[in-house]
Amino acid sequence: MDQRVAPKPEIETMPRGRAALRFVRQLAFALISIVVLIVIFGILNPRFLSAINWFHITQQVAVIAILAIGQTFIIATAGIDISQGSVVALSSMICAIILVDSHLGMVAAVALTLLLGAVVGAMVGGSIVVLGVPPFIATLGMLAIAMGAALLTTNGTPVFGLPNGFQAISQGTILGFPNMGWIAIVIALIAAFVLNKTRFGRYTLAIGSNAEAARRVGINVPRHLLMIYMLGGIISALAGIVYLSYTAAAQPTSGGNYELYAIAAVVIGGGSLFGGVGTILGSVLGALLMTILKNGTQLAGISSYVEQVILGIVVVGAVYVDNLRRRLR
Amino acid sequence: MSASGSAALEVSGIEKRFGAVEVLRGVSMQVAPGEVLGVVGDNGAGKSTLMKVISGVHRADAGRIRLAGQDVAFRTPRDARDAGIETIYQDLALADHLDVGANIFLGREPIRRFAGLIPMLDERKIHGEVAALLGRIESHIPDPSARVLDLSGGQRQAVAIARALYWKAKIVIMDEPTAALAVMETENVLKMARQLAGEGIGVLFIGHNLVEILKICDRVMVMYRGRKVFDARCADTSQTELIRYMTGYADAEVNKTEGEYQ
């Protein structure tokens, strides 16, 4: 971090090389941490390294990675979404109810659930853009609303008896790799394209970096933010659908702390809560790290209560490091 | 300035009031292509309101604006930009985390079709154009993919100027561009103001530093209490004279002669 020492243009390297170097440096922290955790958990319990456990890790990482991707776009605009966990619960409940109690079929159930996500996102985005409520409060409100709505759907009871075909989505493999992993990879590729290669992605980063500058060059900032939160809602609903397929039963109280995993994943992957920064690959690596932490502590015989404590510490620590990174510039 | 007398920008009789306060009281002025016009005046003289009227932020209550001989009426800053009036703000309005190329093209990115279908940013075009542009203005920025965050103040200024240049601005408003810069960087910015003029752009240079103004501007106008009270070629005036007008000392005599300066 010695850019300050030499403000003169000593940047005679190849243009591409510099951007690539920046990218690698951003990911180095996540990559090194993953390797360290794998070694530690491998020593604590050799079963951690088994093929079947990594199959499970791949399934588990998918939901967190999908949420982290949605969170990446939101955090890149200097926003935050702490309602993801309860939107996962609500959308998996709605999807399950449609699948079990109606004859609409799987495609319609998925489509309607995604629509629900869009509506939830529009409500959040609307309260931010139209009512001027800060993202933290808007999504805190949605956290309560979605949680309450999820409980209301069945008066708090779980929904069982999903069609076998629906469960097969998460259980199947392609080329020996779990479908859920493939789903996450496809979404990550699309998201990376959108964030890095399209106007939509560029405006997302520009708004997070300097909303006033974005406004002055004619970008419709309110409309863009509304679209970002709608996208976030759709992605949360998608995570809910994948999660439902994986757990095979809908619990109105599911999805707990998922937003924390996702936020930690984004920040560990190089995203900044101050906005303007974030990569999809970084966030996916962050999601992998958080999943390894969750899975590894379980296999090491550490209680899930302790795991929650660790999660909280990791979130605060990651954001502290983000602050530090920013100040050292 | 130009022989034909066709101004790049010509405003006449601009009036603007905010409630009961008359901020602009019939201001007329013009800038020729390739001319740097210094605009000076004490705080509250109406300089920045006049610039905001020209750049579409405010609408004038009366008066007209002609750009290259055409009457224009801007409803938004975007309209003004599209017509060729760029403003380089004091705070530069750059997205720090994006690279130089992204900032120059922000809001107007060239698009190509991925697989003939999906619209995506044409990065190759952006970086190619920007590299050529940065070389042309001697910006001292060798790398279009450097983040603006990593640049010095003068280099950041160069990014804003390159943006104006690339988008073929007819008029560039520089609002106290050197206020926060070190001495060396100030020199660079002044040089770039001349460079913009060298490209045929009319430059409005708002500033407080009269030494700077007299050094780089072709002409200077003084505003006082919502009026233009003085307008002269820099070679024909002096700091002392400008200060006389800026402080209103010469206000009385100016009221008599104001009509001459159209």
- What ipTM does the predicted assembly reach? 0.81
| Interface residue B248 vs chain A (CB under 8 A) | no
Q: Which residues of A touch B146 (CB under 8 A)?
A: 11, 18
Is the per-residue pLDDT at B3 higher than 50?
Answer: no
Distance from CA of A11 to the nearest CA of B (A): 7
- Per-residue pLDDT tens digits of chain A, which is 329 residues long: 344 443 434 333 444 566 677 777 778 888 998 999 999 999 999 999 998 999 999 999 999 999 999 999 999 999 999 999 999 999 999 999 999 988 888 899 999 999 999 999 999 999 999 999 999 999 999 999 999 999 999 988 899 888 888 888 888 889 888 999 999 999 999 999 999 999 999 999 999 999 988 988 888 999 999 999 999 999 999 999 999 999 988 888 888 889 999 999 999 998 999 999 999 999 999 999 999 999 999 998 888 899 899 999 999 998 888 888 777 65
What type of residue sits at position A224?
Answer: H
Q: Which of B82, B104, B106 to substitute to test the interface with A, most A CBs within 10 Å?
A: B106
| Interface residue A273 vs chain B (CB under 8 A) | no
Locate B6 and state its tokens. Answer: 């066709």
| Interface residue B184 vs chain A (CB under 8 A) | no
Mark yes or no for CB contact A213/B95 under 8 Å: yes
A contact residues 206-235, partner B, Cβ 8 Å cutoff: 206, 208-210, 212-214, 216-219
Q: Map residue A305 onto helix, strand or coil.
A: helix
Q: Are strands B118-121 and B111-114 parallel, antiparallel or unpaired?
A: antiparallel
**Is the CB of residue B96 less than 8 Å from the CB of residue A209?**
yes
| Interface residue B154 vs chain A (CB under 8 A) | no
**Is the CB of residue B208 less than 8 Å from the CB of residue B26?**
no
The predicted pLDDT at position B69 comes to 86
What type of residue sits at position B180?
Answer: A
Distance from CA of A4 to the nearest CA of B (A): 8
- Residue B225's Cβ-count burial label (10 Å; 0-12, 13-18, 19+) is middle
Mark yes or no for CB contact A202/B102 under 8 Å: yes
The predicted pLDDT at position A322 comes to 83
Closest by alpha carbon to A142, among A115, A118, A121, A111?
A121
The predicted pLDDT at position B25 comes to 92
A42 Cβ contact partners less than 8 Å away, ≥ 6 residues apart:
A48, A49
Q: Map residue B29 onto helix, strand or coil.
A: strand
B232 Cβ contact partners less than 8 Å away, ≥ 6 residues apart:
B219, B220, B241
Chain A nearest-CA residue for B141: A9
Q: What is the DSSP letter of B87?
A: E
Burial A243-255, CB ≥16 within 10 A → b, else e: bbbbbeebbbebb
Closest by alpha carbon to A279, among A90, A84, A22?
A22
Q: Which residues of A touch B57 (CB under 8 A)?
A: none
Locate A67 and state its tokens. Answer: 């949420």
**Is the CB of residue B95 less than 8 Å from the CB of residue A276?**
yes
How many beta-carbon pairs under 8 angstroms link A with B? Answer: 91
The three-point CA angle B252-B254-B257 to 5° equals 130
| Interface residue A7 vs chain B (CB under 8 A) | yes
CA distance B30 to B12: 8
Q: Which of A1, A196, A210 to substitute to test the interface with B, most B CBs within 10 Å?
A: A210
Locate B147 and state its tokens. Answer: 């983040």
Mark yes or no for CB contact A199/B121 under 8 Å: yes
Locate A95 and state its tokens. Answer: 């999807």
**Across the interface, which of A18, A208, A212 has its CB nearest the CB of B145?**
A18
**Is the CB of residue A261 less than 8 Å from the CB of residue A67?**
yes
The predicted pLDDT at position B115 comes to 79
CA distance A97 to A208: 38
Q: Which of B143, B163, B175 to substitute to test the interface with A, most A CBs within 10 Å?
A: B143
Structure-model confidence comparison of residues B41 and B5, the more confident one: B41
A329 Cβ contact partners less than 8 Å away, ≥ 6 residues apart:
A1, A3, A4, B149
The predicted pLDDT at position B1 comes to 41
Beta partners for residue A176, in sequence order: none
Beta partners for residue B31, in sequence order: B9
**Mean pLDDT to the nearest integer, B137-142:** 72
Cα A318 to Cα A181, A264, A266: the distances in Å are: 25, 7, 9
For residue A228, the Cα-to-chain-centroid distance in whole angstroms is 14
Is the per-residue pLDDT at B2 higher than 50?
Answer: no
Q: Which residues of B touch A15 (CB under 8 A)?
A: 127, 131, 143-145
Residue with tokens 């390294």: A49
Q: Which of A217, A223, A279 to substitute to test the interface with B, most B CBs within 10 Å?
A: A217
The predicted pLDDT at position A98 comes to 94
Structure-model confidence comparison of residues B60 and B256, the more confident one: B60
**Across the interface, which of B89, B94, B143 has its CB nearest the CB of A11?**
B143
- Residue B208's Cβ-count burial label (10 Å; 0-12, 13-18, 19+) is middle
Residue with tokens 């009789």: B13
CA distance A265 to A67: 9
The predicted pLDDT at position B191 comes to 82
Q: How many helices (H) and strands (E) does chain A have?
A: 13, 2
For residue B6, the Cα-to-chain-centroid distance in whole angstroms is 19
Q: Which residues of B touch A76 (CB under 8 A)?
A: none
Burial A265-281, CB ≥16 within 10 A → b, else e: bbbbbbbbbebbbbbbb
The predicted pLDDT at position A10 comes to 37
CA distance A202 to B102: 8
Q: Please give the mean pLDDT across all residues of chain B.
A: 85
The predicted pLDDT at position A21 comes to 76
